[in-house]
Amino acid sequence: MGKRVIRNLSALLALMLYVGMSPLQIVSADTTVEESTTETAAPSWVAPASYLALGDSLAAGMDHSGKIGDGYADYLADTLEETGLLDSFNKTFAVPGYTTKDVLKDIEENATREVDGKSIRLHDAIANAVLITISAGANDVLAHVEIDPKTFAITYDEQALQMEIKQVGMNLMKIITAIHTINPDAQVYVMGYYNPYPHLPAEIQPLLAQMLTGVNKAIETAAQLPNVDWVETADVVAKDFKVNLPNPENIHLSPDGYQVVAELFWNKVQVDYPWIPADAFIADDVTTDSITLAWKAATTEGQIAAYDIFLEGNKIGSVDGDVFSFTVGELEENHAYAFSIVAVDQNGISSEESPSLNVTTEAIATSLFSDIKGHWAEDVIEQTAFSPTEPVTRAFATSLLTKLISVTNK
C-alpha cells in the first residue's frame, strides 16, 4: 500500500521535535508536601517499594515546554513517599526519544548509568525493584512518519506503520519477560498512550484515533502477562486536554497532566500490588481442632501495645505487642476459617491495612476396618485395602499376597 499524505497541518511541527529528542537531563523540581505535625502514622505491615521507571521522555519527565522536570514517575514516587511506601526511586534509565527497541537493548546489554558518581547496572536496578513502570512505543511508531518542513504535510507508509505497531507489542513482551527473568516478583505497569494532537482540526482526529487505538491495543496485549497491568490514559487526558496538553506545538504533558497520569498509576498500584508480604501472617500449626497463628512485627513510629486477632470479623483475642503467636482451639475438623490481625500502638491507633488468612483445619483420619485399631499391622492392612466394588486384577492380587507375606514374616 502506498504512502498517505495529510497536508496543511502546521501545528504538527512538534512531531519532528518529538522524534529527535534532546539528550537526557535529570532536573529534580522542588516539591512541597503539606505535612501535619500532630498526625501519627498508623502501624503497618506494608513493605515499602523500590521503584524503577523505564521508557521514553514521559518517564523522564519532559514537559510541554520541552524541559526535563517531574513526570508521571516523579509524581507517583511522591505519592508513594507521602504514604510511607517508597524505599527508593530510580528513573535514570528513562531516556527521551527511547523506543521499545532501546529499552530492550538496554536490558539485553545490562546498560550502565552514572548517578552521583556511582555506576548502576540495569540488571541490578531491576533485581532490586519491587515496582516497575514502562512508557515506550510512541517513538517506534512516529519514526515511520515524515513531515514536509514547508507544507507540514504528514506522509506515512500504512503497511510499515502497522508492522511497527505489531513489533511494539512483541518488544514489550520481550521487555517484560526479560524483567521477570531477572526479578520474577516485580510488579510491572505499562502506560497506554494518549492523543498528542487534540488541538488539530476535527477531520484529522479519526486518523489519529485509529493510530492510537492500534498502539494501545499492542501495549494492552503485552500487559496480559503475569504480574503486569496496563494503565489506560487516553480518556482522562482528553477529558481536559487544554490543561493537560496546553501547548499545541508540543505533545508532552503539563505538570497537571502528569499528575493526572500518576494518579491513574497510583489507583492501579493500590488495587494490584501485594503491599503486605505473604509471610506477614501465617498458620504455624494446624490440627483437626486448633490453629496456631503467627505473624511478623508491624512497623510503627512508637511502640506496638497489642495485637488483636479476629475470626470471621469478630475479635476473639488480644496479646501484648511483644507476642507474635496465638492459638485458636475448639474448632471443627475439616472446616475453613478466615482470620485477620490488627496492630494497635501505644496511642490506641490501629493498623489500617492488616493481613488476613484463610485456614482449613485437618480432617480426622478414618480407618477402613474397625477391628484393627491399635494392632501392630494396622498401617500395612490399610495399605493393602481395595475397593470392594472394583474387580480384583491379577496384578493387584499378586501385590496383595506379597504384602501379606511380608506382614506374616515380621
pLDDT tens-digit series, residues 272-299: 776 788 889 999 999 999 999 999 999 8
Any domain includes 171: yes
pLDDT of residue 408: 54
Distances (CA, A) of 45 to 93, 269, 273, 277, 296: 30, 16, 14, 8, 8
Per-residue pLDDT at 89 exceeds 70: yes
Q: Are residues 282 and 177 in the same domain?
A: no
Q: Are residues 56 and 87 in the same domain?
A: yes
CA 250, CA 198: separation in Å to the nearest integer? 11
Q: Are residues 157 and 117 in the same domain?
A: yes
The residue from 272, 304, 325 where one domain ends is: 272
Per-residue pLDDT at 49 exceeds 70: yes
Q: Are residues 233 and 305 in the same domain?
A: no
The pLDDT of 124-138, averaged and rounded, is 96
Any domain includes 399: yes
pLDDT tens, position by position, 231-270: 999 999 999 999 999 998 888 999 999 999 999 999 999 8
Any domain includes 261: yes
- The single residue listed with the C-alpha cell 500449626 is 285
CA 91, CA 61: separation in Å to the nearest integer? 9
Per-residue pLDDT at 371 exceeds 70: no
Q: Are residues 166 and 228 in the same domain?
A: yes
CA 111, CA 105: separation in Å to the nearest integer? 8
The count of structural domains within the chain is: 3
Q: Are residues 182 and 213 in the same domain?
A: yes
Contact between 295 and 324 (Cβ < 8 Å)? yes
pLDDT tens, position by position, 313-362: 999 999 999 999 999 999 999 999 999 999 999 999 999 889 999 999 99
Q: Are residues 142 and 242 in the same domain?
A: yes
| pLDDT above 90 as % of the chain | 60
* Domain that includes residue 169, residue range: 3-272
Q: Are residues 294 and 331 in the same domain?
A: yes
Q: Which residues pair with 62 in a beta bridge?
A: 68
Q: Are residues 78 and 42 in the same domain?
A: yes
Any domain includes 367: no
Upper half-sphere CA count for residue 15 (Cβ side, 13 Å)? 25
Per-residue pLDDT at 368 exceeds 90: no
The dihedral over CA atoms of 167, 171, 174, 179, expressed in degrees to the nearest 10, equals -160
What's the pTM?
Answer: 0.68
Contact between 200 and 238 (Cβ < 8 Å)? no
CA 218, CA 328: separation in Å to the nearest integer? 51
pLDDT tens, position by position, 173-197: 999 999 999 999 999 999 999 998 8
Contact between 156 and 4 (Cβ < 8 Å)? yes
Q: Are residues 70 and 179 in the same domain?
A: yes
Give me the CATH number covering residue 65.
3.40.50.1110
pLDDT of residue 163: 94
Cα-only R_g, the chain: 30
CA 237, CA 191: separation in Å to the nearest integer? 13
The mean predicted confidence, pLDDT, of the chain is: 84
